[in-house]
Amino acid sequence: MNLISIRDYAKSQNVSYEAVRQQVVLYAKELEQHIIKQNRTRFLDEYAVEFLTARRREHPIILMNQTKDEELEEMKAEIDRLREQLVSAQNQLLTKQEQIVTIQEKYIALQEERQEAIQAKAQYEGLLTMHETTKKELSEAKDQLAAAQNEISRAEAERDAEREHTRQKDAELQTVTQERETIKRELAETQRERDEAKEEAQRFKPSFFGFYRKV
């Protein structure tokens, strides 16, 4: 349904606002269902437009007692209407600006969260890389420790073998020393027996008849 304000209708018909207003008042009963009021402005539907146009042709309205004051009142009413529209538009603009500021703040917050998430991811990846490096170094350290333990075990085995060899050599040396001491004692005993025998032999002298006798 097409609607038009009384003022715009008056302009389209090249008549004054007051002429149309008086016509609406005159035919108020006939137009009761065809005048729509929105806020402080009244609008005509298509039936009201055709009705008023036809009646004005049949019975032109003569404006009575229209003074400058009435024109001023109309202008004031129009100014008030325009002022209300301006205030409404300014309020809507302010609301939109506030919404834009809110959206910008949310966007900035999201950007900060995104940056924090990127930094957190970078830190996580850094820690993960450090963890992998540490695992590798720990594995290498374990391998080195195992190799060192094997080397220590081998060295200990060699040391024990050397100790056993030394012990055996010491035992052999001790045996040889003991045998040498035994031989020295036996030699000394043999030498003593030989000296005694020699001394004993010297005590025997040959007799005139060729026999030996102890002197």
Confidence of residue 64 (pLDDT cuts 50, 70, 90): very low
CA 96 to chain centre: 34
Average pLDDT over residues 78-91: 85
Q: Residue 47 region, left (φ>0) first, then alpha (ψ -120 to 50), else beta? A: alpha
pTM of the model: 0.33
Specify the pLDDT at position 161: 85
pLDDT tens digits for range 127-146:
888 888 888 888 888 888 88
Burial bucket for residue 55 (CB in 10 Å: 0-12, 13-18, 19+): middle
Give the integer Cα–Cα distance in Å for 60 and 53: 10
Average pLDDT over residues 33-45: 89
Nearest CA-CA partner of 40 in 11, 1, 2, 80: 80
Average pLDDT over residues 147-176: 84
Widest CA span of the chain, in angstroms?
217
- Which residue shows structure tokens 């720990």? 138
Domain edges within the chain: 1-66
Asked whether residue 77 carries a pLDDT value surpassing 80, the answer given is no
Asked whether residue 207 carries a pLDDT value surpassing 70, the answer given is no
